[in-house]
A and B are shown apart, each in its own frame.
Chain A
Amino acid sequence: MSVVAKIVRAQARDAVRSRWLLGYAAFFFLLTEGVIRFSGDGSKAVLTLASASLVVVPLVTLVLATIHVYNAREFTELLLAQPIRRSSLFKGLYLGLSLPLVAGFVAGIGLPFLLHGGGDPSYRGALITLVALGVVLTFSFTAISFSIALFAEDRLRGLGVALGIWLLVGLLYDGLVLVAVALFSDYPIERPLLALTLANPVDLARVLLLLKLDVAALMGYTGAVFQRAFSGTVGPSLAAGMLGAWIVAPLMLGARQFRRKDF
């Protein structure tokens, strides 16, 4: 077994016994179970879960991962003093944290649907998309958290930056886009709007989900533009590429900092 896998195994063993991961999985389990009980397992349930996931996954991932990296600082130094490469250690630490978070999310949402017979077949595709996007967002925001915690020596400042990023991509960004739309409403702004949406991983995930749920019509003309943009092959691959970039870019930034950093 590679050094990376060994680190992942030990880190994951620590994480799965922690209360925070159990709480995170339990939150999604109860939410999903509740939503299914109250609104059935159709599109409405998936839509409700999507709205909640797109807020909670980035927030919880950013906060938990950032705190975890700061708390693990001394142990990371101990591991750095072992005869292993820094690059292997970084991969191990990253996967050892992101994989348990992914598992918590997937189990929390997946189990209730499995218990209720696998979900309504017509919305299974949307459900799978939701879970897949949650997984992608978890990988992305864990990578962002590592970068933050490796660049900011002060943990309060790091946590502040993490929360700031969540506020920005989760809440403020939409508001700013709306302001822009209102200001430039006399101009053809569909394309810039599309570009703005592609630039924010949370917005991108939201649009992809809405399109999958066939509620894009609710978004009026803009919805039609998005529908057209994402119906070909270019749109979806561009979207997938952007989501991938939101994992790879912060990960590379963090890995580079980890290799050079003075601990």
Chain B
Amino acid sequence: MRDDTRVEKPPRDGGAPVARRRAAGGWKAARWVRRAVQIAVLVLFVYLLFSALQRRSAFPYADLFFRFDPLAAFSTMLAARQWLPHLALAVVTVGAALVLGRVWCGWICPLGTLLGWFRFRAARPLAPRVPPRLRGVRYVLLGVIAVMAALGSLTLLVLDPIALLTRTFTTSLIPGFDYVVGAVESAMMDWGPASGAVTWVEDHFRGTVLPVYQPHYAQGVAIFLVFLAVVLLNVFADRFWCRYLCPLGALLGLVAKVQVLRPLIGDGCNACNACMRACRVGAITAAAAGAGGSGEAAGARARVVTSECTMCLDCLVACPEREAMGFGPALRPGPWAEYDPGRRQFLAAAAIGVGAVTLLGTSVARAVKSPGLIRPPGAQDEGAFLSRCLRCSECMKVCPTSGLQPSLGQGGLEALWTPVLASRLGYCDYACTACGHVCPSGAIPKLGLGDKREQVLGVAVIDRNRCLPWASNTPCIVCQEMCPIPDKAIVLSGQHLITRPDGTQDYLARPKVVAKRCIGCGICEYKCPVEGPAAIVVLPSNPSLAVGGAPGGSSSPEG
């Protein structure tokens, strides 16, 4: 598809207009294909996010992007010291990188696509002034992630781009979206003609596009600010994150050093540097002035650095010479740049990794089990869990009660943004196994409903100084009423009819926890009508409480 007819438009990037027209046509079409692929993949990514939004049964491919993510796969298998077949599709991504370089970054990665859309005018003059050595940062980050993973810690997977974007959607963008919809709906409900539309939207979209309940997440704002910072770094250079910081890009960049099919600049180059100016990631080194033509030395031409190139085709569209650029096979590894990882970066990564794991290991979270540290069902072995969890937040998003929250301090900094059950915000639904089914790495095991119901997350404990029937003789049985265990882990004792001062009557019965039956699902804490902190809370399971167990032996000493 040539567009020879369109002569009126002056080229943006300089170069000879006539020649450019002739050259660009085919690559332009290819670039449209790339853009279409990017949009389609982003749509798929968002669709998958919504396919696992507050559900008891999620779409089985909800974690598809993580399965193709080699950084997640490599570091998780390293930390867990186990081959995880579920993450094996990452081999496909690595294989693609061997042939086509960082095609993942330029065509697939949803974060890369989004960052490509946020372009700032300021970046044009600033980008050339960002020191190239900064590109080494991502290799150091990759090295630190690898060293820490080798020592069993996945803490820095918070920087995985897929996890970063998923977490941002889970904790801030989707809740924000629902909040806006809710606010608009409330405003419209008061105006008769619009209320029908609100009802229609609610009837058709609540539970699919719109979450069943307005989700609230701890640190949603902080997580959003991290995302915002990644976007705003584009002020200094287009796709700043992808150029300088992304550890997944670093991994694929290393593979791309031996990329087989490379963008090559050949003899036709007239050294106009149009390609270099067009490149969003600064992957093209400038041609020396006066270079070009067949007789010149190869080094003087513009050159594409494969470990930086995202295969976006912008340079090919920009090149005014029909024969100057193209793809060709190459078997020799690309040259090592000054910012590519060397001995110093390896040493730095090793030192930072070992130091981080050491310091995190001395965290107070390792000394005492934090009261807030209730893990999802089946993830009770804390060490094993931490060396499997991708910090991706899929479990938090799918949780139908939004009870799974990103942790901040509960498990120490080491466990940053791993899921904890915050029962006051949401409970572990007795009929739900969703978190284990969306977990990409198996950190939360896939359990059948029967097995899941036997997972003890913690144990409920009643605070008799705050519980209504205990503290103020006010009748209340909400916790017992909510307890989903068929035999009831909360029983009522001393049920008798009382007459209130105003002459009305109610039953007064006092709840007690039968610790050995309690699985710590937290619905009692969630539903407790006492304002503020609940009068019944789930604490990490405590075998010494479960010994007595009988209805008489409640979780607090006096009966």
Chains A and B form a bound pair? no
Interface residues of A (CB under 8 A from B): none
